[in-house]
Every structure is written in C-alpha cells, then in structure tokens.
Amino acid sequence: MPEYGRGVQQMVEHCKTIADKQERMRCARSIINTMATMAAQTADKEDFQKKLWNHFAAIAQYDLDIDYPVEIERMDDENTAPNPLPYPQRPIRKRNYGTLVEQFNEHLATMSEGVQRDLLTLMVANHMKRDLSNWSTDSMSDEKVADDMAYYTDGKIQLASQRHHLISDGELLSSRISTTVKKKKKK
C-alpha cells in the first residue's frame, strides 16, 4: 500500500521473520502505531483501528500468524489491476496532424460538394494550420496545408485561396502567445 510507504512495508517484512508469537504481536502493535501517526488526518473516522489492522494484514499478504484484535476482511479486489483498454492502433501518415485530422479528411473526401463541405474544409484546414504552428512555426504556410489536404483526400479537395481564407499567421501566433502568457500567469 503506497500510502504507508516502503518503511512500513519493510517493518512488516521484519515482523514476519520473528519466531516468537508474542514478540510478533508486540511488533505488529508498534507498526500499527506508526501507521496511525502516518494516517492521523483520518483518525477521527469510525473503525479507524479496524481499517489499520486490515491494511496491516493486506501489507503482510494475509500470511502473518498473530492474533488480530479485529476481524480481518480481505481486500484482494481493491488491488487488482483493471483490464487494459484496447486502444485503436492505426498508422498515422503525417504525425504532426494526428489521426483525427486524417479521419476528418477521409470524411471530407466522401462528402458531396456544397456549403457544409466548404465550412468543414475551412475548419479542418485551419486546424491543420494550428497543428503545423504547434509543430514548427517555420512550416505553417497555407500552401503546405493545401498540399497536405489534397494528399489526404487523394486530390478530391483543393483549397483555393480566393474561396478558403485560412487564419492568418499573425493571428495564429498572437493567439499562441496569449495562451502561453495566460498559462505562465496561472503558475
């Protein structure tokens, strides 16, 4: 149990090696006193001693032969690791954009022409430009975004500068600077 630290764990391990049962019980009580001082903020709660003895038994892995002053409840369910989540793994063609931009571009390629596609194209292109600025301010050009969007959509979407006005470099950099300043002020 990490809340008690390595020192308590080592004391419990030492207590397990003591041959005399009465001496082991005396050692266990002193360890419980140490644990009580470490968890003093929760000492006012009901059944505090029972909680300590249950934690002590869990640290000892329930194989310490002493006469416990309280009934010990096993806590095996609490310390088992949850099943790992299956994360979707798919190759990312351009890591600076990420998988969501790729999925949006795949969706854009399947959409029919119209106002909605133009609005979504503009939103995705501006997001791609922000991603480029986060990756490197030297490579955040409208031409690069247009080339990458055409690459992702197999040429089905071509950004036109007269129809798709992307966020300006100055506006993009000023918003990055202002959020950086706000983050520093919070610290």
- Per-residue pLDDT band for 179 (boundaries 50, 70, 90) equals low
For residue 11, what are the domain limits?
1-80
Which of 51, 80, 109 is the last residue before a domain boundary?
A: 80
> Taking a C-beta distance cutoff of 8 angstroms, is the pair 68, 50 a contact?
no
Residue 76, phi-psi category: left (phi > 0), alpha (psi -120 to 50), beta (remainder)? alpha
pLDDT tens string 25-82: 999 999 999 988 888 776 667 788 888 899 899 899 888 889 888 888 887 655 567 7
> Taking a C-beta distance cutoff of 8 angstroms, is the pair 123, 159 a contact?
no
Q: Where are the beta strands (DSSP E) in the chain?
A: none
24: helix, strand or coil: helix
Note whether residue 93 is domain-resident: no
**How many structural domains compose the chain?**
2
67 and 104 housed in the same domain = no
24 and 52 housed in the same domain = yes
pLDDT at 178 over 70: no
Spatial separation of the C-alpha atoms in residues 105 and 151, rounded to whole Å: 9
What does the pLDDT average to over 98-105? 89
164 and 107 housed in the same domain = yes
Note whether residue 23 is domain-resident: yes
pLDDT at 85 over 80: yes
Residue 112, phi-psi category: left (phi > 0), alpha (psi -120 to 50), beta (remainder)? beta
Note whether residue 87 is domain-resident: no
pLDDT tens string 102-157: 999 999 999 998 889 888 988 999 888 888 888 776 767 888 888 889 998 988 88
Q: Of the candidates 116, 123, 110, 103, which has an alpha carbon nearest to the alpha carbon of residue 157?
A: 110
Note whether residue 144 is domain-resident: yes
64 and 119 housed in the same domain = no
